[in-house]
Amino acid sequence: MKLTWLGHACWHLNVDGTSILIDPFFASESIRKIGEALPVDYILCTHGHADHCSDVVSICKRHPNSVLIGCFELVNWFGKKGVRSVEPGNPGGTIMTSFGSVTFTFASHSSQMPDGAYGGIAVGFIINTKEGSVYVAGDTGYFNDMEFIGRSGIKVAIVPIGDRFTMGPEQALEAIKVIKPKWAVPSHYNTWEPIRQDPVSWAKEVHCQTKTQPLIFQPGESKEL
């Protein structure tokens, strides 16, 4: 699988020719150019905050056959904005996809659509593929069910480390200890001053205190995992 960071909490995953875009929000014009050039079959949106969904509608227009996966209230809201193909869900539920399946997980966070509408609850996703599972924690604080999520066998865990609105580095380290993924990828940091963090020192702690390999991306960078 090929994973690309499009900055902030926006990720692009290509598995066996299928492309999955997570939390479309292009924080800069250079990132937008990269993001808009990538193929998209599925869009996964964790919650309704603008830094996770402000580019959903434009991406769906650009890729009219793409499918939007998200919380029931969130995808219904986007349905009214012209998004044609949606797959609603909620934590505990699994949706079958062409590449495998997507399981909705809890996330300890709020969710409100850009116009103030109720967005349901914030969620995370386990993306299950033939090449392993990717856990996208979304915006969340630490919660004990992360141990349960880890029991399913996670290859890549994408976790926020920015603090203030999500887990900071300490909680994210505790999360990795119970999820026990093969790879740990920090997300949701350094986009703005209030979430400034040092991913290198976090990666050092992950390396010293767990058996997980930390993996830091630069915005726009892709890695084969």
Per-residue binder mask for Mn ion (CB under 5 A), 90-129, x = binder: ----------------------------------------
Shortest gap between Cβ of 119 and Ni ion (angstroms)?
10
Q: How many CB atoms lie within 10 A of CB 177?
A: 16
- Work out how close the CB of 158 gets to Mn ion at its nearest, in angstroms, rounded to a whole number: 13
CB of 21 to Mn ion, least distance (A): 16
Q: Is residue 188 part of the contact set for Ni ion (CB under 5 A)?
A: no
The one-letter amino acid code at 121 reads I
Rank residues 50 and 96 by Cβ distance to Ni ion and give the closer one: 50
Q: Answer for the pair 108, 44: CB distance below 8 angstroms, yes or no.
A: no
Count of residues near Ni ion by CB under 5 A: 2
The footprint of Ni ion on residues 9-68 (CB under 5 A) is: 49
Q: At closest approach, how far in Å is the CB of 45 from Ni ion?
A: 11
Name which of 41 and 51 has its Cβ closer to Mn ion.
Answer: 51
Distances in whole angstroms, Cα of residue 28 to Cα of each of 33, 36, 47, 217: 9, 12, 21, 16
163 in contact with Mn ion (CB under 5 A): no
List the structure tokens of 114. Answer: 């850009």
Distance CA 5, CA 219 (A): 5
Q: Which of residues 13-72 bind Mn ion (CB under 5 A)?
A: 51
In this complex, which beta carbon is closest to Ni ion, that of residue 139 or of residue 163? Answer: 139
Dihedral class, residue 101 (left if φ above 0, else alpha if ψ from -120 to 50, else beta) = beta
Q: How far is the CB of 50 from Ni ion (least distance, A)?
A: 9
* Residue 221: C-alpha distances to residues 3, 57, 70, 76, 96 (Å): 8, 24, 25, 32, 29
Residues interacting with Mn ion, by CB under 5 A? 51, 139
